[in-house]
Amino acid sequence: IAFSLEGARESWREHAAVKEVRESLRAELTNDQEQLGKDLRQVRQCNAQLDKMIAEMPGLASRPAELNRRVGELGPGFYGFNTTAWESALSSNTLNFMERKERDRWVSAYVGINEYQKMSLTSALPSFNDVTTYFPSHRSYATVAEEAEAERKLRALKNEFWILDHVGKQIDPDLHKALSTK
């Protein structure tokens, strides 16, 4: 009888721990999903601005002040994502008490958020910093090589933002699946 009661008590503790972790993960991931949405809207807006600048590059190169002004108007978010509840769930091993399918949904969502943030900070942010430091330091684009270098930097940044947008679209369904977990 004592072993049965101890087993029931452990089962109840595991159930309560899973419920608490699930609530924490849902709150955290809901906030992260909102941040991702904001970041993706800004990435798309920046890409539209970059498309215009690239298309108008020959004319903009002859008006460096205008080009620098437009580069200065680029405003990506580079939002941070919170993963404290996730890290706590991992370290406490509480995820092991969840059903496999539910755990897999949480894992997919958080792996996606982690990859998005990693790409944002290690690829897109350095490219953005490169653009925002390069253009203000140039007062003219008198040679073809300078104009080509300026356009190359804009295209590289556009590519980084396109990748973020693509990855963001891919992880969005995983976020919805995880948040629909009961």
Work out the mean pLDDT of the chain and round it to a whole number: 90
Return d(Cα 170, Cα 167) in angstroms, integer. Answer: 5
Given a contact cutoff of 8 angstroms between Cβ atoms, the answer to whether 79 and 4 are in contact is no
Q: What is the Cβ-side half-sphere exposure of residue 57, based on CA atoms within 13 angstroms?
A: 18
Task: Return the percentage of the chain with pLDDT > 70, whole number.
Answer: 91
CA distances from 128 to 43, 51, 79, 134, 175 (A): 11, 15, 14, 10, 27
140/61 Cα distance (integer angstroms): 7
Q: What is the mean pLDDT of residues 67-92?
A: 93
Q: What tens digit of pLDDT does each residue of 91-117 get? A: 998 888 888 999 999 999 999 999 999
Are the beta carbons of 134 and 77 closer than 8 angstroms? no
Tell me what percent of the chain is helix, strand and coil, each rounded to the nearest 5. Answer: 85, 0, 15
Q: Which of 157, 177, 180, 143 is nearest to 75 (CA)?
A: 157
Identify which of 170, 171, 157, 166 has the alpha carbon closest to the alpha carbon of residue 47: 157
Radius of gyration of the chain (CA): 23
Determine the distance from the C-alpha atom of residue 139 to the mean position of all C-alpha atoms in its chain, rounded to a whole number.
33
pLDDT of residue 182: 67
The pLDDT tens digits of the residues spanning 27-76 come to 999 999 999 999 999 999 999 999 999 999 989 999 999 999 999 999 99
Q: Which residues of 73-108 are buried (b: 16+ CB within 10 A; e: fewer)?
A: ebebbebebebebbeebeeeebbebbeeebbebbeb
